[in-house]
Amino acid sequence: MRIRRVTAHAFGHLREQTLPLADGLTVVYGPNESGKSTWHAALLAALCGRWPSRGRDEPGIERRRPWAGSEWRVSAEIVLADGRRVEVWHDLDARYGYAKDLDRVADYSGEITGPGRGEVPDASRWLGLDRRAFVATACVRQSHLVLAAEDAAGVRGYVERAASTALADETVAAALDRIDSFHREQVGTERSKTRPLPVAHRRRAEAEAALRAARAGQAELEECEAEARHWRASAQAALARLRRREAALARAEAQRLRARATQARELADLVAREDALVASPVGGSSSGPALTSATEVAAAVEAWRATVAVAPPAPPAVPAVTPATGPAAGGLSAVPAVAPRVSSGATVAPSAPSGDAAVAPVSPAVPAVIPPEPSPVPASGPASGRRRSVPLFVAAGLFLVLAAVLVGLGATIAGVAAGLAALVAGAVGLFHRGRESALTAASRSAAPPSQPETRLQASVVMPPASVTTMIQPSVAMTQPSVSAPIQPAPPTVDDAVVVAQQRFREWEERLGRAERRVLAVAGQLGLSGESAADAVRDLEAWLAADRDRQAARERSAAHRARLEALLDGTSITQLEAAADRAQERAAAAELEAEQAEQEAGQAGPAAERAGQVGPPPADGPDSTVDDDVEALRRQHQEADRQATLAEQAVATLRQDRPSVAEAEEQLAAAEAECRRLEVLDDVLTRTRAFLARAQERVHRDIAPQLAAAVGRDLAAVTAGRYTETVVDTNTLAVQVRGAGGPLRDVEHLSVGTVEQVYLLVRVALAERLVRPGESCPLLLDDVTVHADQDRTRRLLDTLLTVAERHQVVLFTQQEQVRQWARTTLTGPHHALHELTTLAPA
């Protein structure tokens, strides 16, 4: 490859300027600020273009942006070994370029453009290099003669390729580099924490830890789920017991309500019957005005009976006596005649005739007609018996009510005792009622006769014994057959008769008033008795019926009070409805209990441990049904709370717990990745070892060639001071040896010698790295700045020799070099260009 010219369209301070180059050695001389380094950078930019944006830009190009305007362009005309004349053009700002044939329409950009993104045409690729290797070997910037580490890395592969594969595209070193790069990027070592193999090992360890944690979490979750099932089963079992108890209570409540409703209905029927009995009329006309109370009726009857009971004896009926002489006749004529009241049931003695036969002798053998003594009603008679039987019946009813209430409340023994007391009171009441009936019958049979009979009996009552005794002597005196002397009569006989008659009349008046009162009361009650005795019997019947009605009223009040106590502000229908609702609650509670038992049974073994929550409390002497239900409710609430907490913990664990299956899959993937990388690491290690052994052989082949080339030119430059060199093809480190002396590292020599040695190394590399048939142009900028006059002349002579094989472009500011060029460079094969100092901008 030969560069015919380079044109700076807009590059640094250069604008549309062209620098022609000779095929051999071209010396470009100029003082400082003349643009030598700018043209050196323009040559590099015209051949290789601008580095890709992702890569490291070549600083010699980046500092040469145009001073004015926005365009940044450069081009060069080159001639290849096959005779093609090509123009390489670059728009450096746009990172765009092309390579076209100047003789015919052809575009060669594809031949020299790399596959990477942002690549531009690179003419060094026609030499078998790239821009990095071209800069490291053929393009030497000012004061950059010594090869840096990156320069050595850039050309090492080309050196090995040139030695091992006869300039093939690949070398052992490149393969090793690629293996190392691939190993470093795709495998790595344990020291590189971010590379795949240590990352895979770390991921495998993390996956193993995650799997252990997942399994531990799974065990914890299973334990927590078992605990949750246990508490849920306990809660359901407690709920079942609670519902069973509530159902039993509801059934008992329904039974009590139904019993209350039944008892209330019976009491309502009793109240209705008693009310009907109270409302029924008693005797007489039911439409008559109720103007008389039972007290008044009883007073009237008692007054009549008391009057009858104290009836006095009737005064004697004294017959009319014929006037006679003597004191006896005068005494008897003074006794008034008494017209006694005869009752209808008494027998009346015939009145004696007048005359001598009027006074018949009264013989003691002749029975006297004595009126029956009225039997007074004893205090223990019907009235008193009736008064004692009614309270007993009331007491019996109250005891029955108390027994029913106690049985309803569950106090069975007390209820039975109250019932027995009711039976005893009822029996005693019945006994007194029977005695009352018997006494009533006896009193009626012994009652005084009716008013006419009473009056009749009173009219025929015999005089008392005193009167009879007083009369008998006078009567005996009238009988001639009586021989006993007549005793004189007591002087008080007339007075006693008068008193008896007066008392009898008063009694009759009282009896009349009593009869009228009785009849009036009977009339007010609508009773139509023909006599006072009939009225008294009717009134007593009325009083008996009134007592029954009063007893019925009292029983009705007792039944009504008991009914109100049973109803407690409700009705029988409401009680029955409440009983139905209680029965429904019992059925619902039973159903819920069955469901709870089924759910508890579904928990499996946890259901067997449900009793651990606590059995239902036993009924003790101080426990009640409410306490029992409340204890069961507390058990259920506590078990439900524990179950809820356990289920929440299960949900939290299930949400946060990693899946065991996923952890196993991740561990399997991590282990597979580790195995793959370990196998790859082993393969790459083995391959690299094999290639390293091959590389050693390559180095043994290329190293002597480079050492011979550098040693030949170095002996000429140093005038035989250093005749032998050793080049490390791996690092491009150079050692030199003088005649019979030891090898010394070139870094230990002077700066000028080091630069001269590495310049010769670059020349030797450039000759051996290019493709066969191609020559690499050398672009050198002030490479003799640290050489003395003798070494500068010998170095320029060496470069003139090199220019016979390669195109050499030397930029310099040394006057010695310009003078050498003026005297040495003759003919069209070489050229000297002298630049002038730029005008101030």
pLDDT of res. 76: 95
pLDDT of res. 16: 92
Domains of the chain, residue spans: 1-128+818-841, 288-526
Average pLDDT over residues 377-401: 63
Q: Which helix (H) or strand (E) holds 196?
A: helix 196-279
pLDDT of res. 490: 53
Task: Check whether 255 has a pLDDT greater than 50.
Answer: yes
pLDDT of res. 624: 55
Query: What pLDDT band is residue 21 in, cutting at 50, 70 and 90?
Result: very high
3-class DSSP state of 780: strand
Mean pLDDT of the chain: 74
- CA dihedral for 262, 266, 269, 275, sign (positive or negative): negative
Q: Which helix (H) or strand (E) holds 299?
A: helix 294-309
Percent of the chain with pLDDT over 90: 9
Asked if 390 and 550 count as a contact pair (C-beta separation under 8 A), the reply is yes
Domain covering 1-128+818-841 in this structure, CATH number: 3.40.50.300
Average pLDDT over residues 517-524: 85
pLDDT of res. 514: 86
CA distances in angstroms from 782 to 7, 182, 578, 600, 792, listed in the order given = 21, 40, 121, 99, 11
Average pLDDT over residues 415-421: 81
pLDDT of res. 686: 84
Q: Of 270, 286, 280, whose CA–CA distance to 554 is shortest?
A: 270
Task: Check whether 351 has a pLDDT greater than 60.
Answer: no
pLDDT of res. 697: 59
pLDDT digits 0-9 by tens, 648-676? 888 888 887 778 888 888 889 989 988 88
Average pLDDT over residues 372-396: 55
pLDDT digits 0-9 by tens, 745-757? 877 788 778 877 8
Query: What pLDDT band is residue 317 in, cutting at 50, 70 and 90?
Result: low
Most confident of 79-83, 142-146, 609-613, 709-713: 79-83
Task: Check whether 326 has a pLDDT greater than 50.
Answer: no
Average pLDDT over residues 135-143: 78
pLDDT digits 0-9 by tens, 748-800? 788 778 877 878 888 888 777 788 888 889 999 888 888 888 888 888 888 88
Q: Which helix (H) or strand (E) holds 96?
A: strand 96-101
What value, to the nearest 5°, has the Cα angle with vertex 596 and ends 595 and 602?
90
CB contact set of 36 (below 8 Å; sequence gap of 6+): 28, 30, 781, 782, 811, 812, 813, 835
CA distances in angstroms from 707 to 45, 524, 727, 841, listed in the order given = 32, 172, 6, 48
Average pLDDT over residues 539-545: 86
Average pLDDT over residues 707-716: 76
CA distances in angstroms from 301 to 382, 520, 523, 526, 543, listed in the order given = 13, 11, 14, 16, 10
pLDDT of res. 820: 92
pLDDT of res. 78: 94
Query: What pLDDT band is residue 394 in, cutting at 50, 70 and 90?
Result: confident
Q: What is the pTM of this model?
A: 0.42
pLDDT of res. 435: 62
Query: What pLDDT band is residue 54 in, cutting at 50, 70 and 90?
Result: low
Q: Measure the CA–CA gap between 157 and 171, rounded to whole angstroms.
A: 6
